Structure 1
């Protein structure tokens, strides 16, 4: 039996595939089209689509453990609930699901509420799963790195409530640890929830200061205008997605993204190494540019 990773070509999924391969696990990478991505030695490519029932039944028929991640799409909830139902049908009792932090607070944000709905299914059907609730990914800021360096402005309107950004590599490391723990267990393990946050809360102003320090010249924070942020996203993203991101940023400005006491120590114990800092992320990003 093996571990199936959905979203295997994405930021998180590809890191998880690599981590499982490094651990010598029998991993399968779910892709929609064959041959578009080279995977590590020992990883099996499985062609299926989360919206295609027959292909997903086949993909789930010979695995022991499932990592489920859904891209932000209009049918995200349908994809997730269908996959979980098919997993139950196949008798799979080892699941790691990537949700989002504070999904119960950001009730007007479509993809947050969608993930909260999926969590409710996992709870109501007592599905043996680890629910991972990550905060804002540090890697999201790679999308605006060129803007930061060219125009000396940090444009993400994250406000001042404070968000404990987390490096995608740390998310993947926790996911791999949980997949291996569940896969190696002799029977289904109890359901747990893990908040995934970075080592310190950051604000728009403090992020700009970090970029200033690394780049050696002043970077200013672009401010809290979420309408302007939506307008910028609309120029290269679907309108529904740009609006979803606008609502998310407004929620971040209101609630922030903070972890519970003891989260940092718990995550570091699971991973076996310290959480990566935002400054480390920026330095690596600038060095590799």
Structure 2
């Protein structure tokens, strides 16, 4: 294992004397390194688009999106997955994150777990993985055996696969149908891939899950119209979204949220079309939950 050949493990010459700098100089230096991340992600946009389109296609036929990783990469996958239900109103099964060592490893690393391909297979079998699902392997170093094992098993059963790493010619990329490599270069602190590499992976996951949800009709204009009004704060947010989408006042939004059984999508369509709850339910079902499509259908465009 020649780690020194990996970009993520090389010594950053820009930060070679970071331990002698003042606090503000350290902060500025870290920030200047972080500024390099978005440009590297942009180089991967075509691959990211390909992966997103494949995910959406499979979710529409009943598939799920599964992130698999170890260490920081695994935690980032779990974080992204856990934020989808409250933001977009999807089930906790639709987007899931699993990591080497299981739930306990989220807080405390489980030594050796990331070196086992068999553990990944076992974890994916417990999810009843099918050919409709998508599995995205996450590994900054691009070589984690746990991730490779998971991707191989996913490919074996016919699932769609993607790989996200921060090194050139990654090993995990050779085990996935879509390979994303954001080469952010050596870290501020050598080998500390929770920094630029972690930031890159987090940004890519944000792009993937957000775009997937937009394509699934979870966003109208730039508003999260499938937000679940499960507490006082979210009820108020739902009302504001209705007001913003329809130009109605707060009093009308309060009425609409009740008439729509607290469904923001229904409330918006009811106000914009003048139709009742059952009628807009049919419209939404016919247009895969997409408000924009439903409105275009209503006005004949």
Return the TM-score normalized by structure 1: 0.35
- Which structure dedicates a bigger proportion of its chain to helix? 2
Bigger Rg over Cα:
2
